């Protein structure tokens, strides 16, 4: 049987193997004899190149890059029918002897070879190939494995293959078509800076490697709201260990912004050096400022590729929003810092009601920013709608005063309008200072005579309040603004803390907001509170969405 006449029932074949595996064999020399002089394609290491190393494994590129090898006998090429399929292992025998030759030929070809293969020869190769890419892929093989008995290597490599993060990352890049994105669509962008795929660099300071040993990253970047004609300043803090034990001092941090969220493409803006407290501040230059919309931000530490994610929201003047204070209004238990607290029944549906009307959702808390990952994971676990989250800058003596200052600055500098505000009894003073009317302030808890004239108490819970919002004039659609559309959605789980992975917490989460008697086929609260429009959107998500590091819940429409 001629191998070239056997066509697999798929569009592409990938053959993974370890170079030291005695039972491994190559397929490419069976399809084209000259490929025995080319080494297999080395799969990039995931730890060093999380998004790939940028090398092309397309068949056409491989042939052109090694055209010197194919030109030697292109005129004397033996017909494929005369080639004996033979043993795959036999085709691998000259591989080691000719690897240096192939590398040398590559260098000579890149150094100035202007020759090109005849189009007919190239067509003959591609016509019998099993896909459009290389077929043989070699995995990383540590030198320590040479000490193992040869008999044990095949079983060891087989088990290692299924646990290899290099293989998983490579397969996902193929399935999601991430490496097939056409970089020529934006000619003004440098393709090398479209994704944070550069390898790790050495730390600028020698002490950094010692300081960061055995500690985990707890980076965070503040969500930013900016007026369309105002400055756009990004702030991040890079800390390690529990309670911010170690600050990243004097190291490089790359700043990436997804300027076109629909494309899923990260654009490199600049590199900043962290200060003594692990902070960076980057003011986007005037010529690079973004128009009205919501843009994901990623700040990547150059030394270990750890990152912090946030959003930049550029708003037009007069944007209407609804403020929710997390502490005491959403959680039914005392602390979000503890084990997964319960959610007040109907809280998620009330927030989504305002989101469906077109309002910008703002979550605010007096908690320090070191708890951002825990709080965001808690909100995403309970399917809260996407919104901008704001924390106190470290431990503060008076968190209520910090809330007041922050909201007042938003109203004055970004010209937003707060149409409704939710919180606990301690937040009444904050909203009164902002000159909100009692009809705009909703407080969770029992009514008291002292504050009865200053707010509206939700003594019957969020469920009754939602019914009054839907069947009364207390809520209205946001004023039409065609330049700003916020997509309805919920938080994405970027990194879930360990305390949210426990099964008992998941069971409690699914049974919290089910006031009705259980039916024959009960659904978890997460699925019940998800709007139909969001379900349909998730069902038709494009394949590139996974690569963005989390599904983006906002989209800007020009």
Are residues 330 and 403 located together in one domain of the fold? yes
Distance CA 440, CA 446 (A): 17
Measured in degrees and rounded to the nearest 5, phi and psi for residue 392 equal -75, 150
Interior angle at CA 133, CA 129 and CA 139, nearest 5: 115
Most confident of 44-48, 293-297, 449-453: 293-297
Res 228 pLDDT > 80: yes
Name which of 36-45, 61-70, 95-104, 258-267 the model is least confident about: 95-104
More confident residue, 537 or 289: 289
CA dist., res. 32 & res. 27, Å (int) = 9
- What DSSP string describes 498-552? GGGS-HHHHHHHHTTT--SPP-SS---HHHHTS-HHHHHHHHT--GGGGGGTS--
Among the ranges 93-102, 299-308, 495-504, 537-546, which has the highest mean pLDDT value? 299-308
Q: Residue 257 maps to which CATH number?
A: 2.60.40.380
Helix (H) or strand (E) segment spanning residue 5: none
CB under 8 A, 24+ apart: contacts of 527-532: 529/348, 529/349, 529/352, 529/383, 530/383, 530/490, 531/352, 531/356, 531/488
Banded pLDDT at 417 (limits 50, 70, 90): very high
| pLDDT over threshold 90, residue 486 | no
Q: How many C-beta neighbours within 10 Å does residue 6 have?
A: 12
Residue at 225 is within a domain: yes
Is 428 inside a domain boundary? yes
DSSP 523-537: --HHHHTS-HHHHHH
| Whole-number percent of the chain with pLDDT over 90 | 29
Tell me the whole-structure pTM to 2 decimals: 0.55
Mean pLDDT of the 320-331 span? 87
The answer to whether the CB of 326 falls within 8 A of the CB of 392 is no
Residue 529 · residue 349 · CB < 8 Å: yes
Mean pLDDT of 248-265: 89
The domain total for the chain is 3
Residue ending a domain, choose from 295, 315, 335: 315
pLDDT at position 545 is 35
Q: Are 333 and 417 contained in the same domain?
A: yes
Residue 448 lies in a domain: yes
Residues 165, 31: one domain? yes
How many Å apart are CA 67 and CA 79, to the nearest integer? 19
Stretch 333-347: mean pLDDT: 69
- Looking at the fold, whether 340 and 475 belong to one and the same domain comes out as yes
Q: How high is the pLDDT of residue 329?
A: 82
Q: Given a cut of 80, is residue 146 above it in pLDDT?
A: no
Q: Report the CATH number that the domain containing residue 433 is assigned in CATH.
A: 3.40.50.1000
Q: Is the pLDDT of residue 59 over 80?
A: yes
Residue 525 confidence (pLDDT): 42
DSSP state of 272: E
Same domain, 332 and 384: yes
Same domain, 205 and 278: yes
Q: What is the mean pLDDT of residues 132-153?
A: 85
Residues with Cβ within 8 Å of 538's Cβ and at least 6 positions away in sequence, in order, are: 551
Report how far residue 257's alpha carbon sits from residue 330's, in angstroms, rounded to the nearest whole number: 31
Per-residue buried b or exposed e for 503-518, using 16+ beta carbons within 10 Å of the residue's own CB? eeeeeebbebbeeeee
Which residues pair with residue 137 across a beta bridge?
Answer: 16, 41
Task: Tell me, yes or no, whether 247 and 311 share the same domain.
Answer: yes
CA nearest 88: which of 148, 150, 136, 154? Answer: 136
Out of 491, 515, 544, a domain closes at 491
Match 């007096």 to its residue by tokens: 366
Q: Pick the last residue of a domain from 491, 517, 537.
A: 491
Residue 522 lies in a domain: no
Cα–Cα distance for residue pair 266/547, rounded to 1 Å = 10
Overall average pLDDT of the 172-188 stretch: 57
Q: What pLDDT is recorded for position 370? A: 87
Q: What is the tens place of the pLDDT at every residue in 492-517?
A: 544 333 433 333 433 343 444 444 44
Section 121-144 average pLDDT: 87
Locate 42 and state its tokens. 């080395």
pLDDT of amino acid 3: 67
DSSP state of 133: B
170-184, 196-210, 425-439: which is most confident:
425-439
Least confident of 148-152, 246-250, 533-537: 533-537
Mean pLDDT of the 149-163 span = 83
d(C-alpha 494, C-alpha 309), whole Å: 9
509 located within any domain = no
Going by C-beta distance under 8 Å and a sequence separation of 6 or more, which residues neighbour residue 225?
A: 313, 315, 388, 410, 414, 416
174 and 215 together in one domain: no
Same domain, 304 and 380: no
For residue 38, pLDDT over 80 is answered with yes
Does residue 161 surpass a pLDDT of 70?
Answer: yes
Of 442, 440, 414, the residue nearest 319 (C-alpha): 414
Of these ranges, 56-60, 232-236, 366-370, 503-507, the one predicted with the greatest mean pLDDT is 232-236
- The reply to whether 108 falls in a domain is no
Structural domain contains residue 556 = no
In which band, very low, low, confident or very high, does the pLDDT at 366 lie, cut at 50, 70 and 90? confident
Helix, strand, or coil (residue 23): coil
Q: Are 47 and 169 in contact (CB under 8 A)?
A: no
Residue of higher predicted confidence among 224 and 515: 224
pLDDT band at 298 (very low <50, low <70, confident <90, very high): very high
Residues 371 and 322 both lie in one domain = yes
Distance CA 308, CA 220 (A): 5
Predicted confidence at residue 231, as pLDDT, reads 92
Q: Is residue 191 part of a domain?
A: no
User: At 353, is the pLDDT very low, low, confident or very high (cuts 50, 70, 90)?
Assistant: very high
Same domain? 323 vs 308 = no
Lowest mean pLDDT among 194-208, 286-300, 399-413: 194-208
Tally Cβ neighbours within 10 Å of residue 170: 22
- Do residue 325 and residue 301 come from a single domain? no
What pLDDT, on a 0 to 100 scale, did the predictor assign at position 384? 92
**3-state secondary structure at position 377:** helix
Judged by DSSP in three states, 247 sits in: strand
Tell me if 488 sits within 8 A of 535, measured CB to CB: no
CA dihedral 169, 172, 174, 175 (to 10 degrees): 170
What pLDDT sits at residue 276? 93
With cut-offs at 50, 70 and 90, classify the pLDDT of residue 69.
confident
Residue 160's closest CA among 172, 145, 170, 171? 145
Rounded to whole angstroms, the maximal C-alpha distance in the chain is 99
Q: What is the pLDDT of residues 523-545, one digit of tens each?
A: 444 434 444 444 444 444 333 33
The predicted structure's pLDDT at residue 484:
53
DSSP 93: T
Domain span holding position 479: 318-491
């Amino acid at each position: 049987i001629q191998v070239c006449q056997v066509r697999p029932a798929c569009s592409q074949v990938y053959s993974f193997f370890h170079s030291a595996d005695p039972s491994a064999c190559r397929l490419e020399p069976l399809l084209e004899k000259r490929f025995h002089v080319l080494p297999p394609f080395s799969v990039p290491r995931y730890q060093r190149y999380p998004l790939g190393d940028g090398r092309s494994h397309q068949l056409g590129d491989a042939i052109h890059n090694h055209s010197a090898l194919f030109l030697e006998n292109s005129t004397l090429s033996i017909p494929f029918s005369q080639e004996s399929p033979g043993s795959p292992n036999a085709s691998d025998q000259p591989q080691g002897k000719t690897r240096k030759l192939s590398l040398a030929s590559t260098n000579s070809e890149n150094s100035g070879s202007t020759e090109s293969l005849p189009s007919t020869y190239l067509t003959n190769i591609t016509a019998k190939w099993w896909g459009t890419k290389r077929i043989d892929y070699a995995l990383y093989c540590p030198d320590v494995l040479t000490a193992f008995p040869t008999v044990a290597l095949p079983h060891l490599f087989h088990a290692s293959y299924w646990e290899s993060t290099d293989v998983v990352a490579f397969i996902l890049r193929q399935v999601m078509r991430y490496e097939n994105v056409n970089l020529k669509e934006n000619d003004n962008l440098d393709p090398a800076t479209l994704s944070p795929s550069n390898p790790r660099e050495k730390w600028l300071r020698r002490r950094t490697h010692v300081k960061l040993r055995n500690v985990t990253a707890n980076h965070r970047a503040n969500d930013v709201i900016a007026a369309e004609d105002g400055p756009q300043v990004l702030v991040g803090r890079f800390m390690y260990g529990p309670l911010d034990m170690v600050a990243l001092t004097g190291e490089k941090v790359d700043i990436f912004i997804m300027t076109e969220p629909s494309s899923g493409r990260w654009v490199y803006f600049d590199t900043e050096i962290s200060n003594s407290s692990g902070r960076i501040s980057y003011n986007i230059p005037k010529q690079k400022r973004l128009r009205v919309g919501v843009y994901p931000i990623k700040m990547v530490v150059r030394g270990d590729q750890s990152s912090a994610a946030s959003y930049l929201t550029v708003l037009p003047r007069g944007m209407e929003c609804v403020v929710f204070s997390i502490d005491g209004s959403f959680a039914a238990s005392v602390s979000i810092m503890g084990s997964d607290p319960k959610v007040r029944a109907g809280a998620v549906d009330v927030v989504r009601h305002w989101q469906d009307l077109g309002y910008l959702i703002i979550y605010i808390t007096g908690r320090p920013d070191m708890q951002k990952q825990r709080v965001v994971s808690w909100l995403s676990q309970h399917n809260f709608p996407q919104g901008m989250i704001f924390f106190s800058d470290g431990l503060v003596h008076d968190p209520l005063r910090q809330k007041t200052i922050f909201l007042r600055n938003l109203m004055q500098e970004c010209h937003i309008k707060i149409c409704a505000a939710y919180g606990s009894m301690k937040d009444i003073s904050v909203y009164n200072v902002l000159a909100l009317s009692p009809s705009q302030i909703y407080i969770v808890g029992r009514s008291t005579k002292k504050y009865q004239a200053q707010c509206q108490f939700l003594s019957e819970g969020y469920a009754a309040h939602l019914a009054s919002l839907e069947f009364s004039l207390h809520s209205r659609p946001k004023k039409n603004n065609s330049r700003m559309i916020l997509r309805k959605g919920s938080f994405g789980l970027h990194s879930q803390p360990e305390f949210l992975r426990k099964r008992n917490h998941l069971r409690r989460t699914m049974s919290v907001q089910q006031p009705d008697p259980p039916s024959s086929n009960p659904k978890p609260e997460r699925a019940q509170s998800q709007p139909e429009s969001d379900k349909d959107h998730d069902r038709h998500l494009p394949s590139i969405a996974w690569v963005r590091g989390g599904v983006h819940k906002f989209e800007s429409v020009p």
